[in-house]
Chain A
Amino acid sequence: MGTTEERLRAYLAANCLHMPPDEIPLDQPLLSTGLVDSFHLVELAIFIETELGVRIDDTELNSGTFDTLAQLTVLVEQRQS
Chain B
Amino acid sequence: MSLPAGTLPQVLFDRYRTSPEQTAVVLRLNKGESTLTVRQLVDGALGYAARLRQAGVVPGEVVIALLPPGAELLHAFLGAMFLGAVPSILPFLTEKLDPQRYRESLDSLISVTRPAALIAEPNLADMLRTQLAHAGEVKAMLAGGAPGLQLRPVDTATLEGLRGSPDSLALLQHSSGTTGLQKGVALSHRAILRQLAAYAPALGLTPSDIIVSWLPLYHDMGLIAGFLMPVLTGAKLVLLSPFEWARAPWTLLRAVSEHGGTLAWLPNFAYNFCATRIPDRELNGLDLSSWRAVINCSEPMVAESHRLFASRLRPFGLRETALATCYAMAENVFAVTQGGIDRPVRLDRVDRELLVKEGRAVPAGGADRRTTEVVSAGEPLANCEVLVLSPDGSPLPNRQIGELALRSDCMLTGYFNRPDATASALRDGWYLTGDLGYLAEGEVFITGRKKDLMIVGGKNIYPQDIEYLINQVPGVHPGRVVVFGLFNESMGTEEPAAVVEVDPAARVEANRLGLAIREAVATGSEVTLGPLKLVDERWLVKTSSGKIARGANREKLLSELGREA
Contacts and interface: CB of A to CB of B under 8 A. Distances in A.
Interface of A: 17-20, 23, 25, 28, 31-35, 37-43, 46, 49, 58-59, 61-63
Contacts of B457: 39
B546 to A, nearest CB: 30
B515 A35 contact: yes
B328 to A, nearest CB: 22
B277 interface: yes
A46 B279 CA distance: 8
B248 interface: yes
Nearest to A20: B511
Given A33-B96, A34-B522, 13 more contacts: A18-B514, A19-B514, A28-B515, A31-B95, A33-B519, A35-B515, A35-B528, A38-B246, A41-B247, A42-B246, A46-B279, A58-B244, A58-B248
- For chain B, the bracket of interface size reads 20 to 34
Given A18-B531, A32-B96, A37-B528, A42 B277 contact: yes
B96 A49 contact: no
B539 interface: no
Contacts of B511: 19-20, 23
A62 to B, nearest CB: 8
Contacts, number: 64
B96 A34 contact: yes
A42 B251 CA distance: 13
Nearest to B509: A23
A32 B95 contact: yes
A62 B248 CA distance: 12
B249 interface: yes
Nearest to A61: B247
Contacts of B7: none
A45 to B, nearest CB: 8
A61 B522 CA distance: 17
Given A20-B511, A49-B279, A35 B522 contact: yes
B522 A39 contact: no
B102 interface: no
Contacts of B268: none
A20 B514 CA distance: 11
